Amino acid sequence: MSLFSKKQPDPTPEPTDETAQTEATSAVGPDGAASVGEASATGAAVDAADDTGAEAPEGSFDDVVAGYAASAQPDSGTTAEFGTDDAGSGAEDDAAAAGAKPRRRSRRAIIGIAAAFALVVGTGGAVFASAHKTIDVDVNGEIRTVTTYSGDIGGLLEQEGITTGEHDLIVPSLEEALVDGSDVVVRTAQEVTFEVNGETTDLWTTATTAGQAVADVAGAGRDIQITASRSVDGRAELELPLVTDGPVVFEVDGTSTTVEIEGEATLDEALVQAGLTLSLQDTVAVTAREDGTPVVTITRRSYEPSVTTAPIAFESVERETDDLYVGQSRVVQEGVDGVTTSTFTNQIVDGVVVSTKLLRTEVTDAVAEVTEVGTAERPVAPPPAPAPSSGGSSGSGSGSGSSEPDPPASTVGGDVWAALAQCESGGNPTIVSSNGLYHGLYQFSVGTWQSVGGSGLPSQASAAEQTQRAQILQARSGWGQWPHCSSVLGLR
């Protein structure tokens, strides 16, 4: 609606200057708002400001007044709704009808128009000022102050380019009306992996720290924790910061320590502030106390090898041989125990072995003990030769007789002993059998050697002494002491 409207001439006399001033003044109500009827300029401006948010007319006050004053000049046959002149005499009307020069508005009338327009501009400015708001917007803990003409939260967020999802927290709600000085809080939801009652599950949370997230979910009466993952370089990581400016309880190595963390800290940064280090096998879990204080539990894990051995007893084996007489035996192979070696890896949690895994087993077989048992029959010794009778002389007297000692049971030449030595040892007086039991020319055992007066080892004695001891043995026990070679040589 225009500020001014035109109508056909009214036969009523033109108002005086005082009337015009009174009408202009009456356009202002008690509260300072224009009230010049339904078609008043003030009402039009206020309605436009309230409905559309359009700005008040631009330009200086004098320019606007001049524009409206110019538009207030009467056309032929019409008169302005708010216009009056000073004289108001009928003579002037006659002059105008006769083609006389049109009269100008009085200065007082123009001032009345300007006053009405000032009210319009003033009222519209108040409306626009009330639409302009200053708001503090907190997005995930970052706060900034913005100005807006938006009427609700949704319009403000759109203006600021802040997008939200279905799980996000927005306070007040998107449809809430904005009021100057309001605080708007936006928390972006994030899907975080929790261990709830021992099972892994993904939950949405608007908490800005892991400690808050655990406390929020644990508040529902569930046993919950967040287990940190390990990066390639071994750092412990969470999907959220651990804490912002607050205490953290560290439970590790059998102790509980509370550390005040400064600023926003990730789990790895909090561990550094606490002076704690992790091995690659250590695990980290985050829980929370009832007051929301995060609790970081570090479980020390390591893997260490261990070795065990178990003996394997050797077997004893007897083997018959006719190289020995019945009742004789000799050990030709010493027994050696075997061993089973097992290597394990042990998983150690906080200093306690919780599991053991067998990696490999190695077996060293036992060596059986072999004993030869003689089967050869001992030869029967020939009866001793009768003593020779001695002749006597007869005479008147008595004769006396004498006797000589018995000769040896047998007399053997040196070539026989040489042949026996060659058969037994190849004629080598220092030779020792492969099992270490038999020595020298005639393969004495140490016990037999000592039984015929020898000392030390037979292989360390001279060949002459070995032959002498062999002859003593043969005279005492016969050729059966060398069952094989004596048979080959035809000595028995």
- CATH number reported for the structural domain that contains residue 460 in this entry: 1.10.530.10
With respect to residue 388, please indicate whether it lies within any of the assigned structural domains. no
Residues 122 and 50 in one domain: yes
The residue range of the domain holding 26 is 6-131
Pairing mode of beta strands 224-227, 229-230 = unpaired
Residue 45: inside a domain: yes
- Same domain, yes or no: 17 and 127: yes
> What is the pLDDT, as a whole number, of residue 324?
83
Average pLDDT, consecutive stretches of 10 residues, N- to C-terminus, the chain (492 residues): 37 44 38 36 36 41 43 39 40 42 42 40 45 90 90 89 88 87 88 78 81 75 75 72 91 92 89 90 88 90 94 95 86 95 95 95 96 82 50 39 40 76 90 89 92 92 92 90 88 80
The token pair that represents 338 in the structure block: 């075997």
Helix, strand, coil abundance in the chain, percent, nearest 5: 25, 30, 40
> How confident is the model at residue 317, as a pLDDT?
95
Provide the β-strand partners of residue 311.
Answer: 339
In this prediction, residue 104 carries a pLDDT of: 44
Q: Is 382 inside a domain boundary?
A: no
Whole-number pLDDT of residue 280: 86
Instruction: Report how far residue 280's alpha carbon sits from residue 166's, in angstroms, rounded to the nearest whole number.
Output: 38
Do residues 11 and 119 both lie within one domain? yes
Which residue among 144, 166, 187 closes a domain? 187
DSSP-assigned beta bridge partners for residue 190? 205
Does one domain contain both 283 and 341?
no
Largest CA distance in the chain: 239
In this structure, is residue 292 part of a structural domain?
Answer: yes
The tokens of 128 are what?
């626009």
DSSP labels, 213-239 = HHHHHHTTS--EEEEPEE-TTS-EE-S
Q: Can the peptide bond before residue 172 be classed as cis, meaning omega within 30 degrees of 0? A: yes
Say yes or no: 137 and 123 in one domain. Answer: no
pLDDT of 298 reads: 93
CA-nearest of 270, 264, 294 to 140 is 264
Judge if 327 and 438 occupy the same domain. Answer: no
> In the listed set 327, 348, 376, which residue is the last one of a domain according to the structure?
376
Q: Which pLDDT value is given to residue 233? A: 64
Q: How far apart are CA 154 and CA 331, in angstroms?
A: 104
Kindly list the distances between the CA atom of residue 375 and the CA atoms of 247, 321, 363, 474, 481, in Å, as whole numbers in the listed order: 92, 6, 37, 19, 13
HSE (side-chain half, CA atoms, 13 Å) at 174 = 12
Q: Is residue 403 part of a domain?
A: no
H-helix segments, 359-428: 414-425
Amino acid at 419: A
Angle at 213 between CA 208 and CA 216, to 5 degrees: 125
Place of tokens 């072999």: 370
Output DSSP code: residue 73.
S
- Distance of alpha carbon 80 from alpha carbon 376, whole angstroms: 164
**Token duo for residue 403:** 């006797």
Tokens of 279: 């091995």
Q: Is residue 70 part of a domain?
A: yes
Domain final position from 187, 214, 231:
187
List the structure tokens of 309: 């051995």
Are 35 and 124 in a shared domain? yes
Sheet of 369-376: strand order equals 316-325, 369-376, 329-333
Is the domain of 63 the same as that of 119? yes
Residue 401 resides in a domain: no
Measured CA to CA in angstroms, residue 399 lies from 387, 389, 395, 396, 405 at distances of 19, 15, 7, 9, 21
Beta bridge partners, 261, equal 246
Query: How do strand 79-80 and strand 169-171 relate by DSSP bridges?
Result: unpaired
User: Starting at the edge strand that comes first in sequence, how are the strands of the sheet with 169-171 ordered?
Assistant: 142-148, 133-139, 183-187, 169-171
pTM: 0.42
Structure tokens at 176: 């809430």
Q: What is the CATH number of the domain that holds 369?
A: 2.20.230.10
Q: Are residues 223 and 290 in the same domain?
A: yes
Does residue 337 belong to any structural domain of this protein? yes
Same domain, yes or no: 127 and 159: no
Do 194 and 281 have their domain in common?
A: yes
Residue with tokens 């001032």: 111
Domain count, the chain: 5
**365 lies in the same domain as 425:** no
Say what the pLDDT of residue 107 is. 38
**Distance in angstroms (rounded) separating the CA atoms of residues 205 and 288:** 15
Quick one: tokens of 269? Answer: 């940064």
Helices 463-477 and 414-425: angle between axes, nearest 10 degrees: 100
Read off the amino acid at residue 406: D
